[in-house]
Amino acid sequence: MTLFRLRALGALRSLTARPAWLVVGSGLLLGIGYAIFRGVAAGVRWLYAYPLVDRLAPTVLQRSLEGLFLMLMAAVLFSVLVASIGILYGSADLELLLAQPTGRARVFGMKVVELFVNAAGLPLLFTLPVLAGVGVALGAGPLYYLVSAVAASALYALPVALGALLALVLVRVAPAGRVREVATAASVSVAALALLGLRALRPEQLFRLGDQDADAFERFLTSFARLDAGWLPPAWAANASWAALDGRVHAGLLVLLATGAAGLGLAGLLAHVAFARGWVRSLDATPVAAPRRRSATPWWERVLVARFGVAGAIIVKDTRVFMRDVQQWSQLIVLAALAGVYFVSLASIPVPTQQFRDVLGAMNIAFVGFIVAGIGLRVAYPSVSFDDGAFWLSQVQPVRKRAIVLAKFLFALPLMLVLALGLGVTAGKVLDASPVLAFGAPLAAGLGALAITALAVGLGAANARFEFTSPNELVMTPGAFAYMALALAYTAIVTVLLARPAWLVISGGGTAAYWSTAEGLAVIAVLTALTVGTVIAALAFGVRQLARTEAGLPGG
Amino acid sequence: MLELVQLTKRYGRTAAVDGLDLAAKAGEVLALLGPNGAGKTTAIRCVTGLIKPSGGRILIGGHDVEREPIAAKTLTGFVPDRAWFYPKVTARELLRYLASVRGLSAAESRMDALLERFRLTRSADSLTETFSHGMRQRLAFCAALIGNPRLFIADEPMVGLDVQGHRDVKLLFRELAAAGLAVILTTHTLAVAEEVADRIAVIDRGKLVALGTLAELRARLNRSDDTSLEELFILLTEPQAPGSDEHLASPERT
């Protein structure tokens, strides 16, 4: 227990180190949680009151819970696979922990708990208000709240156990010499394949809507209610929660708990045999002293330094580190997988009419913003903190904080722009959206990439942490929550600003000439002003806060 | 070259550095000594811009570190006690990066000379994550010197160096001072301070306790010429019973 207590105390101290940010981040999280709770409660009441579907409502709701559990379990699995090697084998505190007279399985257990908090913490925080909303709307008793919370936790523990097992195996089988790099790359690739594989099943084919059917909605709900996936763990969790509404304990809960315990038990057993050896193996092999070929300063380095000065030199250094650090470049695999999932999803949605295509085109503007914000959290937000223990070098050199923040922004921007514009343009083509949206979506995506990258870099600089046991910790901080909230708020404002042209198109009134009318130009001007303002404010805030940072030397 | 005027650094109610007045001239080696927690490293981190002072002024070559940090840092080279670098960058790439941020063109020959001087030529194109502590420390010297500083600061520079490294560094300090640089070092290895320092500053509990040459410190404490620096240091810094000794009660410079 001492290990857990120490780790929990460390996490608590790091959370409370900046009380203002903790208050802001917690406030935003609580606000989002409350909005989810109220929204779900209202939605459930509406569903039960809807005349056509009242008899179907309980089943539809149960299936919706299953769908939510499935989606979030997939998200947890994805996060676990991406983070497992870093947390289980790359944490800086392992050297100290494994040197103590304590069981290796116990150390491994603590790291698995850390993995659970990192990967399943946020999904669980979003699940609980949903379950509470359902419970309040249906007047559930205390048993429901207890069972549903336990079922959700046990459900999300399954992918954590799976990820831990995979990490144990990968580190043992990865080729000597580059164990951690290969294991991390393999793990991230498995995550990307799992995500693409799940999506490639195209579950929406099971209940495809008819074209212009007046009873389509009811038939959709009927077919949705008939979907039975009782053999999947999300259904066990949903069934257990549902039975608890009537005061019953469903066998699904026991199966879920037994499976989770078996998975963690197996991982613990394997860890007893393989964890310490795997860790030693990864240590032995990580720093391979293979000299690189000496070369003259490459042309791209000369161009960047000549064009951007100090910021250019920082970009050159960051490019090298990015290309050589598997934890950083593997994010590109994640990015490609997410883009792939998005396009598969768009191509799978039945779009019978132009009107429907334009509705999706309008929604695409918001979706792209959400995706770019999520990628920004992994790619741009930690960019200043990635300097880690070497930040002292920047502190003692004649380098303005402005140059550091600008360099990080310019480094992350091309990646974010390519992603956002790619999604905006391609989605428009896939959907064959009307010209107004075919122009509006890439415009919003491009401007969104600028603003969201600046928010990520600015808030990441303002909340830079140069001592962390694993980079995954960085995205579970109050500053990261604040960034996500602001990025989503920006996306919401842009979506609202583009609602008018979208409505014109959907109602049949919009033409390609819209963007050259006074109204169209005004929308562009407001969007541009909002973006420029966000970029300047976010970066300036990051520069000011970074200048106040007293950190940089390990242990300093 | 360096002037500290009433430098103060507080952490809550605790003063890590408490009204420190100190100056280092061009061409001298000044050793900053003191027991653990005396405030040496804190003072040096204030000078190098790693942390911000709570009060007082720091002037480097006449430039105020707070108001003109770029000008002040351009004149400074710093070696920390535990140097850490970007792990996925080679030694040569690191030095090239530092030359770029300092706006130095044609730094390749200086880079090669520094790598040679600190016995890193064979490892120059290896990633720094493969370096031992001693190699990282030697690379820190290269990094500190790449920008032709006028003020050279080293915080516990001997930690992790081998015997040859010790000797090289001691020679380096004298060479740098001879070339007109102001050199400041903190160390717990009193023999090094005795050997290379022109003047010695003793700090205790954030305050300057004594400052002068070794001979001046001996004279101040009324000790003979064969009294070692270690004895003087203990006399200056050991906790005293109230009223038992007068030397701590008169911290004026020698």
Give the pLDDT of residue A219: 57
Q: Give the pLDDT confidence score for residue A176 in this predicted structure.
A: 56
Here the ipTM equals 0.86
Distance CA A52, CA A49 (A): 9
Q: Give residue A220's pLDDT band: very low, low, confident or very high (50, 70, 90).
A: low
Annotate A397-425 with b (16+ C-beta within 10 A) or e (fewer).
bbbebbbbbbbbbbbbbebbbebbbbbbe
pLDDT of B31 reads 93
* Rounded mean pLDDT, A336-349: 72
Strand partners, B154: B79, B185
- State the residue for tokens 């038939």: A219
Contact status of A94 with chain B (Cβ, < 8 Å): no
**Using CA atoms, how far apart are residues A503 and A45, in angstroms rounded to an integer?**
28
| pLDDT exceeds cutoff 70 at A178 | no
Chain-chain contact of B50 with A288 (C-beta, under 8 angstroms) = no
Residue A200, pLDDT > 60, answer no
* Chain A touched by B159 (CB under 8 Å): no
pLDDT of res. A556: 40
CA dihedral over B114, B115, B116, B118, signed as positive or negative: positive
- Residue A217, pLDDT score: 55
Q: What is the 3-state secondary structure (H, E, C) of chain B?
A: CEEEEEEEEEECCEEEEEEEEEEECCCCEEEEECCCCCCHHHHHHHHHCCCCCCEEEEEECCEECCCCHHHHHHCEEEECCCCCCCCCCEHHHHHHHHHHHCCCCCCHHHHHHHHHHCCCHHHCCCEHHHCCHHHHHHHHHHHHHCCCCCEEEEECCCCCCCHHHHHHHHHHHHHHHHCCCEEEEECCCHHHHHHHCCEEEEEECCEEEEEECHHHHHHHCCCCCCCCHHHHHHHHHCCCCCCCCCHHHCCCCC
Distance CA A436, CA A520 (A): 10
**Nearest Cβ partner for A395 among B49, B93, B130:** B49
Classify the C-alpha dihedral B125-B128-B129-B131 as positive or negative: positive
pLDDT of residue B244: 44
Residue A210: which pLDDT band, with cuts at 50, 70 and 90?
A: very low
Q: How many pairs of residues across A and B have Cβ atoms under 8 Å apart? A: 106
A215, pLDDT greater than 60: no
- The pLDDT assigned to A80 comes to 77
User: Distance between CA atoms of A482 and A372, rounded to whole angstroms?
Assistant: 16
Tell me the one-letter amino acid at A120.
A
Average pLDDT over residues A372-394: 88
Average pLDDT over all residues of chain A: 79
Instruction: Specify whether the CB–CB gap between A464 and A383 falls below 8 A.
Output: no
Structure-derived torsion over alpha carbons of residues A443, A445, A449, A452, reported in degrees to the nearest 10: 110
Q: Is 90 exceeded by the pLDDT of residue A254?
A: no
CB contact set of A426 (below 8 Å; sequence gap of 6+): A343
A18-29 burial code (b ≥16 CB/10 A, e <16): beebbebbeebb
Query: What residues of chain A, 125 to 144, have a C-beta less than 8 Å from chain B?
Result: none
Q: SS3 for A550?
A: coil
The C-alpha atoms of residue A448 and residue A423 are separated, in whole angstroms, by 12
Residue A288 pLDDT exceeds 90: no
Is residue B185 within 8 A of residue B29, CB to CB? The reply is yes
Residue A348: phi and psi, rounded to 5, are -85, -20
Chain B residues in contact with A464 by the CB 8 A cut-off are none
Structure tokens at A319: 């490019």
Please state the rounded mean pLDDT for residues A495-522. 81
Q: What's the confidence (pLDDT) of residue A39? A: 87
Q: Which one has a higher pLDDT value, A390 or A355? A: A390
| Interface membership of B74 toward A (CB under 8 Å) | yes
Mark yes or no for CB contact B101/A552 under 8 Å: no
Interface check B85 vs A, CB under 8 A: yes
Pairing of strands B182-186, B151-155: parallel
Average pLDDT over residues A96-123: 79
For the segment B13-49, what is each residue's pLDDT rounded down to a tens digit?
888 899 999 999 999 999 999 888 888 999 999 999 8
CA distance B161 to B153: 17
Q: Please check whether residue B107 touches A, CB under 8 A.
A: no
Q: For A399-456, what is each residue's pLDDT tens digit?
A: 999 999 999 999 999 989 998 898 888 887 877 778 888 888 889 999 999 999 999 9
Kindly report the number of other CB atoms within 10 A of residue A192's CB atom: 23
| Interatomic CA distance for residues A359 and A362, integer angstroms | 5
Cα separation, A78 vs A73, in Å, equals: 9
Exposure b/e, A32-44, CB count within 10 A at least 16 = b: bbeebbeebbebb
CA angle B84, B86, B92 (to 5 degrees): 100
The amino acid occupying position B133 is H
In sequence order, what are the residues at sequence separation of 6 or more whose Cβ sits closer than 8 angstroms to the Cβ of residue A153? A120, A124
Contacts of B132 in chain A (CB under 8 A): none
Pick from A98-102, A234-238, A394-398, B92-96: least confident: A98-102
Phi-psi domain of B62 (left: phi exceeds 0; alpha: psi -120 through 50; beta: other): left
CA of B83 to nearest chain A CA: how many angstroms apart?
Answer: 8
- Whether B98 and chain A come into contact, CB under 8 Å, resolves to yes
Chain A residues lying within 8 Å of B82, measured CB to CB: 553-555
Nearest to B70 among A294, A392, A400 (CB): A400
Minimal Cβ distance to B93: which of A288, A320, A397: A320
Residue B145 C-alpha, separation from nearest chain A C-alpha, in angstroms: 12
* Spatial separation of the C-alpha atoms in residues A55 and A452, rounded to whole Å: 44
Give the residues of chain B that fall short of pLDDT 70. Answer: 239-254
A440 or A208: which leads in pLDDT: A440
Provide the pLDDT for residue B53: 92
* Model pTM score: 0.78
pLDDT at A555: 45
Task: Give the closest-approach CA distance of B192 to chain A in angstroms.
Answer: 24
Contact call for residues B37 and B13 (beta carbons, < 8 A): no
> If pLDDT is split at 50, 70 and 90, which confidence band does A76 have?
confident
Q: For residues B66 and A331, what is the distance between their CA atoms, to the nearest angstrom?
A: 39
The string over A63-91, giving b where at least 16 C-beta atoms fall within 10 Å of a residue's C-beta and e elsewhere, is bbbbbbbbebbbbbbbbbbbbbbbbbbbb
Please report, for residues A198, A433, B42, B137, the alpha-carbon distance to residue B167 in angstroms, rounded to integers and kept in the order given. Answer: 64, 74, 27, 14
Distance from A183 to chain B by nearest Cα, in Å? Answer: 18
Q: CA A396 to CA B154: how far, in whole Å?
A: 13
H-type alpha helices, A286-400:
299-308, 310-324, 326-348, 354-379, 391-396
